[in-house]
Chain A
């Protein structure tokens, strides 16, 4: 079973939920941190890394000796990543998506594809939790290739928990695709509600069931609860606004280690998730 933890709005507690859920389970569990722009799960789980892999995207390299400057490559490139001048071909690697069309279609076979490192994936474990995360290199734009590489390490024999980046665009879609259920962590404020609604739309488009974790309950308003009731989205766990929880978080202490009673709540959350996945009509 794959459970992703996403949110729309940033800073609502995705990593707190993902790490505490992983720490609570007794069965085989793996945590994949797919927030490759700002990965943080390792701050809480302090894994030992045993393997490190670079992530490459393929970009074109033009052999000027073979190139006849016909301009075919720059015409077919959908991203304007390659420009054929009269005497030289310019490649703009930051625009290239690595589709390979220019290399394949060059009539002179003058273009080869070479790897450019955009990030790294590290694999290891934290006690019994299997762990992998990706880190996008600073200055690089494209997170999805790094996310795909992290997900290649998914161990489908046990439970896989995916920590997702905030937002609703391509990195989020890449991270949550293939999940059996997505937990949406939000807070009871108008910002939390607005971004929850956007995240729910993404999940509906991808046909992935979801449940809500309401964090920092106690301040704010009732908008999120009213919305969930109206849309028939279950609130699976409520975490109050609490100075001890915030303090432990600031020091990198997982919730279930700072306040061990929370383990029971996370196990209940997991049971409810499993029930929802098993009762899902399409499964």
Chain B
């Protein structure tokens, strides 16, 4: 079993559109949507939920007004400035329990938080593990780890060849949680100065965690000078640039119909995506 994670640094470069297409092309796989705070893959795969689970993670402090003597110790020691006027702001509270431990009146309790939900679903392309982080909740990294862990169990149980993971944008907590221990990262970028800047940072994260990476330049023809710059950067970093996809409105048209682009049209970009998947599976096979 091999795990591919699709990342980009910059958002909106086409990660989910590509993962949706890989879902339609690849045989023997489980899909995982690790962009848990803005998950979109389900919009292309029309899943039917088979299992819905609560994600309890972390705690939040709560002050019992009747027991509180307003000594103020909790407010002084909280490193997150989450307590004022002897009330806890649940959004600032990081659930460390420092206040709970020091309160001389035992007036503080720690409450468990329902931080989201995760699902195992069936799609016409195979099983999908996905999640929804609660609104303004923390611990997205832990929810990502849970999604990956369940995708891995399914792959083991059903003896599937691939785990294909749609990752979040950025380079922080949920990205690192999506990446660490994966066999290969596909980095989807675009030839804009922002795209290049963000690609450089996400390549750095892959190097840092020792995950080999391939690069795909989406909308390569909006600025071919920048595309060449990305190609030079990749060869300097020892990262293979495996695919260039042109601008094409069929991505949006397919999305509006709720279809992966390779199912919506058979030509042009779809052929290129087919070649891209072949390059990925060949690379995964070599590992």
Contacts and interface: CB of A to CB of B under 8 A. Distances in A.
Interface of A: 7-12, 15, 37-38, 40, 43, 58, 76, 78-79, 97-101, 104-105, 136, 138-143, 165-173, 177, 189-191, 194-195, 198, 201-202, 205-206, 219-221, 243, 246-247, 249-252
Contact of B12 (A9, A37, A98): A9
B226 A250 contact: yes
B95 A9 contact: no
A38 B201 contact: yes
Contacts of B173: 141-143
A87 B155 CA distance: 40
A171 B255 contact: no
A169 B140 CA distance: 7
Given A191-B40, A251-B223, 8 more contacts: A40-B197, A142-B173, A166-B12, A189-B256, A190-B255, A194-B40, A201-B135, A220-B256
Given A38-B10, A105-B102, A143-B172, A247 B43 contact: no
A222 B9 CA distance: 29
B238 interface: no
Interface in B33-60: 35-38, 40, 43, 58-59
Contacts of B137: 169
Interface string B179-209: 0000000000011111101100100110011
A156 to B, nearest CB: 18
Contacts of B194: 15, 38, 40, 43, 249, 252
Given A10-B169, A101-B97, A202-B136, A219 B38 contact: no
A48 B256 CA distance: 43
A172 B137 CA distance: 10
A14 B209 CA distance: 29
Nearest to A198: B38
A250 B222 contact: yes
Nearest to B252: A219
Contacts of B43: 190-191, 194
A140 B12 contact: no
Contact of B77 (A98, A100, A171): A100
Contact of A99 (B16, B98, B176): B98
B204 A138 contact: yes
B171 interface: yes
Closest 8 CB pairs of A and B: A10-B11, A11-B12, A99-B96, A37-B170, A101-B98, A250-B223, A250-B192, A252-B193
Contacts of A104: 77, 98, 102
A139 B208 contact: yes
Contact of B197 (A9, A43, A167, A243): A43
Given A40-B197, A105-B101, A100 B79 contact: yes
B168 interface: yes
18 contacts: A7-B11, A10-B38, A11-B11, A11-B12, A38-B9, A38-B171, A40-B10, A105-B101, A141-B172, A142-B172, A167-B168, A168-B136, A169-B136, A190-B258, A194-B43, A195-B40, A220-B256, A221-B256
A43 B193 contact: yes
Contacts of B190: 250
Contacts of B226: 250-251
Contacts of B11: 7, 9-12, 166
Contacts of A194: 38, 40, 43
A202 B197 CA distance: 28
Contacts of A251: 192-193, 223, 226
B37 A100 contact: no
B223 A139 contact: no
Interface in B150-176: 168-176
Contact of A195 (B38, B101, B176, B223): B38
A38 to B, nearest CB: 4
Interface in B71-93: 77, 79-80, 91
B21 interface: no
A139 B190 CA distance: 23
B80 A99 contact: yes
A12 B12 CA distance: 7
Contacts of B141: 141
Contacts of B140: 169-170
Most interface-central of B12, B101, B197, B204 (chain A CB within 10 A): B12
B270 interface: no
Given A38-B9, A142-B173, A190 B101 contact: no
Interface string B226-261: 100000000000000000000001001001101000
A56 to B, nearest CB: 12
B10 A11 contact: yes
A139 B202 CA distance: 9
B201 to A, nearest CB: 6
B281 to A, nearest CB: 26
A203 to B, nearest CB: 9
A9 B170 CA distance: 12
B214 interface: no
Contact of A202 (B9, B135, B176): B135
A208 to B, nearest CB: 11
